Structure 1
């Protein structure tokens, strides 16, 4: 199955994913950007790369290995890429942090790189992620507009907020020790894998065909 840690920059996604890697058996951990990021990476590029990573997850799936992927693709994007319906299971966790903490982390990580408007864009993207995680109807235009033509947005465009398939786990790392956040990620992964094995995960293969109430 595919497990993703998503969210805006500097929330701690990669740190948590690679910290938990040695605790889990038959889980491959990758960062979305390790394939390289072009200078003018846009929404269509992210769409295509999300499809690339879903195909990589399918390769791992064929070997009985789950993929834990860190990146910025939200649930709606993952569900809409062409190959998503071939995955045995999908689970998404939003790694979030308070705006002031994200702002400080950006300044420390890339001193002098980001102007105020760019930092505000990171914060706005984080706020959108929160709304999207809660409600599929929250400004879908943000990801649908000028997207890769192969994206199948219709798969979930009509879902309501109470649809059990629309489930993104939220982990807020604000003022929380890294060790505790790593423990919580490990617990989330374990719960999702257990639910998958028992057939109880909402986004199990066949999720496009009908609503699975739980």
Structure 2
């Protein structure tokens, strides 16, 4: 199955994901950007790269392995890529942090790299992620406009927030020890795997019909 850790920058995705690879068997960990990000990377690039990672997850699936993927693609984007229905299961967790902490982490991680408008863009993207996780109908244009022509947005754009398939687990890392957030993500991974095996995962194969 594909387990996706999503969210805007500086929420702790990479640190926590690496810990999962050390703690859990049958789980491989990759970062969305590990193959490089081209100059001028846009929404279409992110869509196509999401599809590439879903295909990689299918390769691992055939070997009996689950893929934990970090990155910024939200649930709606993952569900819309061409190969998503072929996965045995999909689960998404949003790692979030308060705006002041994210702003501070961006400054500390990349001094002098981001000007105020760029930082505000990161914060706006984080805010959109929070709303998207709760409601599939919130500002769908943010991801659907100017997107890759192969994206099948109609798989979910008529869903409501009450649809059990629309499920993004939230982990807020603000003022929490990394170990505590890591423990919560480990529990989430374990729970999603168990839900798939027991037939209770909302996004198990066949979810699009």
Give the TM-score category using the shorter length: over 0.9
CA distance in 2 between partners of 1:191 and 1:54 (Å): 21
**Alignment partner, residue 180 of structure 1:** 180
2:175 and 2:37 map into 1 onto residues whose CA distance is 30
Partner of 2:62: 62
State the TM-score, normalized to the length of structure 1: 0.97
Matches within 5 A, 1:76-155: 76-155=76-155
What pairs with 1:29-44 in structure 2 (closer than 5 Å)? 29-44=29-44
Secondary structure in 2 aligned to 1:33? coil
Once the two structures are overlaid, the 10-residue window that deviates more, 83-92 or 11-20, is: 11-20
Which stretches in structure 2 are left out of the alignment for 5+ residues? none
CA offset at residue 190 of structure 1? 0.3
Count residues in correspondence. 209
Query: Structure 1 residue 35: deviation in Å?
Result: 1.3
Residue number in structure 2 paired with 1:164: 164
Once the two structures are superposed, residues 127-165 of structure 1 have per-residue CA deviations (whole angstroms, 9 ceiling, x without a partner) of 000000000000000000000000000000100110000
Query: What is the match of residue 53 of structure 1?
Result: 53
Match of 1:72 in 2: 72
Question: Alignment partner of 1:200: what SS?
Answer: coil
Matched residues in 2 for 1:115 and 1:193: separation? 41
C-alpha RMSD of the superposition: 0.4
1:22 aligns with 2:19: no
Following TM superposition, by how much is the alpha carbon of 1:4 offset from its aligned partner in structure 2, in angstroms? 0.4
Structure 1 runs not aligned, ≥5 long = 210-214
Between the aligned partners of 2:37 and 2:67, the Cα distance in structure 1 is 20
Task: Tell me the SS of whatever aligns to 1:34.
Answer: coil
Give how far 1:39 is off: 1.3
Q: Tell me by how many angstroms 1:20 deviates.
A: 1.9
